[in-house]
Amino acid sequence: MRLGVMFDRGLPPEQLIPFARALDETSVADLWVVEDLGWTGGLTSAATALAVTSRLRVGLGIAPAPLRNPMLLAMELGNLARVHPGRFAAGIGHGVQDWMRQVGAAPASPLTLLEETVTAVRALLRGETVTLHGKAVHLDGVSLVHPPAEPPPVLTGVKRPRSLALSGRVAQGTIVPEGVGPEQVPGILETIGAGEDHELVVFTFLRVGSGDDGESGEMVAGQAGFLGVAPEDVAIASGTAEEAAAHVNSLWTAGATSVVVRPIGADPLGQVNALLSAL
């Protein structure tokens, strides 16, 4: 059971270095960085966090397949894995389709593109020469000159049933978004249908303490729209540190391999430390 912390996309990028260094001194296992359209680049964030830490695993959450050629993505992932062996996890997803349309990158079939991208990237990271003339991906006899001796795990960031099943077929792990509660985890695992070595990463909001919940309410409402559920159905680790810890524990008990908290509001590191004390 792993505990991770997300460096929120709303934080100024220059805060990533002290944030990562501070987490590296705790018992937190993972730091996850974000790649959302218009915010910051996930690969540069991951490289920065890896360079200033010595212990943390850094996760990329989540590179949109429509914006990343599989060969270039494998080159970048392989480079990070070689420089920081055993400390990097790569998330790839469909990308938010409205955002993909904004930049002229919406695929005809997001499922096909994701499956072919993950299949190609994993083969390249294993050092194979890849020829793939698929419906969305076209590679002709390409390979990495410097494949990593220890390929990083490739996970997919998905939420719908067909995508979850796809993840079980082609990826080494699955990342599900903020708002998923412990009662949903067993069904997600069943839909994924993979073995015990398939990692399930559950993102969850963290709000420790009382005070103005305006920001919490806004973020939860936005996530509810993204998930297509009512705001009250968005699960969150909130309340006292002990109550937040109970929610994290319930996700682990339900079957999550890793729980990644996304602190809301002021003093994110203080909230994480409070959670760690309660856990």
pLDDT, tens digit (0-9, with 9 covering 90-100), for 232-274:
999 999 999 999 999 999 999 999 999 999 999 889 999 999 9
CB-based burial label for 99 (10 Å; 0-12, 13-18, 19+): middle
Using one digit for the tens of pLDDT, what is the confidence trace for 103-136?
999 999 999 999 999 999 999 999 999 999 999 9
Give me 44's structure tokens. Answer: 């540069």
How many domains would you assign to the chain?
A: 1
157-193 pLDDT, tens digit each: 999 999 999 999 999 999 999 999 999 999 999 999 9
**Distance between terminal CA atoms of the chain?**
12
Mean pLDDT of 10-18: 97
Determine contact, residues 78/148, Cβ cutoff 8 Å. Answer: yes
Please tell me the predicted confidence (pLDDT) of residue 215.
77
pLDDT at 212: 58
Q: What's the confidence (pLDDT) of residue 214?
A: 74
Distance CA 24, CA 53 (A): 6
pLDDT tens string 213-228: 677 888 899 999 999 9
Which pLDDT belongs to residue 210? 72
Q: Which domain holds residue 39?
A: 2-278
Among the residue ranges 44-53, 56-65, 145-154, 202-211, the one predicted with the least confidence is 202-211
247: domain CATH number is 3.20.20.30
Helix-helix angle 268-278:16-24, to 10 degrees: 20
Confidence of residue 74 (pLDDT cuts 50, 70, 90): very high
Q: Write down the pTM of the prediction.
A: 0.95
| Least confident segment among 3-17, 33-47, 202-216, 258-272 | 202-216
Look at residue 211 in the predicted model and tell me its pLDDT: 57
